[in-house]
A and B are shown apart, each in its own frame.
Chain A
Amino acid sequence: MNGTMNRDMAGRIFAIVVAFGALLTLPYWMHGIYYVNVASQILFYAVFALGLNVLVGYGGLVSLGHAGLFGVSAYATGYMLQLGYGHSLAIVVAIAMGLASMAIYAVLSLRSTGIGFIMITLALGEILWGLAYRWISLTGGDNGINVPTRPSPFGYSMTNATVFYYVTLTVFAIAIALCWIFVRSPFGAALRGTRDQPRRMNALGYHVWAIRFWACLFSGLLTAVSAILFVYYTQFISPQTLALTSSAEVLLMVISGGPGTLLGPIFGAGLVVVVKNVVSAFIERWNFLLGAIFVAIVILMPEGLVPGSVRLWRLAMRQRRKRAAP
């Protein structure tokens, strides 16, 4: 028994090392700036999905309004730059505004759970979308806000796709590390407890609302950071980014990959971004494909593609071992 566990552990570490090596050297073996850009997109969307997963997967709180929060940080960045401020200040303000909005979101939506929570977050997302769309004097409405330049951290200009990729990879690595630490921590265990048995947790002495609130703020931090990368990537922000479909897409990333796992949201982000950018060249109606995959996963593999695949793999390995041993 211990033998298989150590083999498992070794296998996992090996896989992580290989994956990270591949990511670190990606611009050198991936041919074409286009694909490097796709990789950048996958990475910052993965940060967004990891942020949503803190609530959905580990907190048991499904939010359909996260695109609104994403939009707040993106618009804050664009707006600050438009006013003439530098990148550093714009980024700080964007993160601060993102966290402040998330705090308000949390106070309002944590009054409810389950379907009620979904409805409130949906309403909040729609309110933010509506403001972005109609408060033209502030947001430019449908015309959006242009972001003409990208920052140059340590003198390396992010206008260069490879530099952008490495900055995104760094942020991604930090985000994953933070999530990993968070999930293994006592607070992470407490959060998962509130997901599984909120009433019991309350009876054991935990402050369920407060635990969820702080989890929301952590989620908000990751959301803000991914939004800033997004707006520097597209160099444009419009109300469409805050629409219900955008909230649905990031939820799709989390659910399809596997909520409550670390790899799931990353894989889900990869799936959605690849379908949107690469598959869309071959299949025009890729939204249909995305929706169909989503429905299939919810019905057939509700734990998500990553845990589901691992489970099927283990099953196959066990069958193989049974057949091999007489």
Chain B
Amino acid sequence: MSFWLVLTVNSITFGGLLFLLSAGFSLIFGLMRIPNLTHGSLFMLGAYVGATFAAGLAGMQMNFWLAAVVATLTVAFAGALAERLLLRRLPGDQLAQVLVTLGLSFMAADFCLLIWGGDPLSVATPDGLQGFARFGTVVFPLYRLAIIVIAVVVAIALWLMLERTRLGAMIRAGVDDPDMARVVGIRVSQLFTIVFALGAGLAGFAGIIGGPILSVYPGLDQDMLPLALVVVILGGTGSLLGSFVGSIIVGFIYNFGQALLPELAYFVLFMPMLLVLLLRPQGLFGRHVP
């Protein structure tokens, strides 16, 4: 019984982490109509930067949460730079933009190898969350529960941003109909930069938050990108609710799949993605078809 409970909580935790990773991916896909193939690399970059600052850089050791903020801002900045300098040169050419994000993922992966080497970095669980919570006989690491809380908080914040702010309204308009949005006076290309930076920042944040659980290693980008893809295809591009629901579903499929059907673990993960692409391409809550 406790095995299932632990598996369930782990699934929700992983789902929370996936949400942090995929929310940005979904917004970028929804607004710019491209799957950002650099997204896994941004996750990994955030994890590396955060891990470095948390462990101590140039004699300066940072509080985990402060390191997380620094990592988020760094990756957001990198994303904004990539969008302004590279993607913006290919306006409307989605295929070319996808190829650029592909090339960037190669560059980012090697960049991380260059700076941080081939050995995995472990990230210490932040102070105060190192303990366990007891529910009867079952024990859960506090940090895993914290991730769930963080994911929910971020989800609410994003929802508020999208529904209640002017920026959010512009983003939603751009996701629904970029041409109409332009006609109404929304600076869609500026919006692209903002959303790309936001998405990148979220990915970087997810990376460092996931650090204590996943650690950081070369290849982390290749492990996480497909998951973000599955979440967003299942949940629907451009939909926050879709990302949330999709993340939980994928969190469960991934964890239960690994535990119960290890030989078919990835098959069980990507098959639903394929089925959705074939039968209901807009996903569960998507605004439009990829």
Contact = CB atoms under 8 A, between A and B. Distances in A.
Direct contact of A and B (CB under 8 A): yes
Nearest to B40: A244
B240 interface: no
A114 B95 contact: yes
B261 to A, nearest CB: 9
A251 interface: yes
Interface residues of B, number: 45
A58 interface: no
Interface stretch (B11-19, B145-153, B222-230): B222-230
A284 B270 CA distance: 34
A302 interface: yes
A211 interface: no
B103 A115 contact: no
Contacts of B271: 127
Contacts of A294: 99, 102-103, 106
Contacts of A288: 106-107, 110-111, 114
Given A134-B264, A295-B107, A298-B100, A114 B94 contact: yes
Interface in B1-58: 33-35
Interface in A123-140: 123-124, 126-127, 129-131, 133-137
B278 interface: yes
Nearest to A299: B89
Contacts of B229: 119, 122-123
Mostly, the B contact residues are: helix
Interface in A248-276: 248, 251-252, 255
A285 interface: yes
Given A115-B94, A287-B106, A291-B106, A134 B266 contact: yes
26 contacts: A115-B33, A116-B277, A118-B95, A118-B98, A122-B35, A127-B266, A127-B274, A130-B270, A134-B263, A134-B264, A134-B266, A135-B264, A245-B106, A248-B105, A287-B106, A287-B109, A288-B110, A288-B111, A288-B114, A291-B104, A291-B107, A295-B86, A298-B99, A298-B103, A299-B96, A299-B100
Q: Which 8 pairs across A and B sit closest by C-beta, in order of nearness?
A: A130-B266, A291-B106, A294-B103, A288-B110, A291-B107, A295-B103, A287-B110, A285-B110
Given A294-B102, A299-B86, 14 more contacts: A112-B277, A126-B226, A127-B267, A133-B266, A134-B263, A244-B225, A285-B111, A287-B107, A288-B114, A291-B105, A295-B86, A295-B100, A298-B96, A299-B89
Interface of B: 33-35, 86, 89-90, 94-96, 98-100, 102-111, 113-114, 222, 225-226, 229, 233, 262-267, 269-271, 273-274, 277-278, 281, 289-290
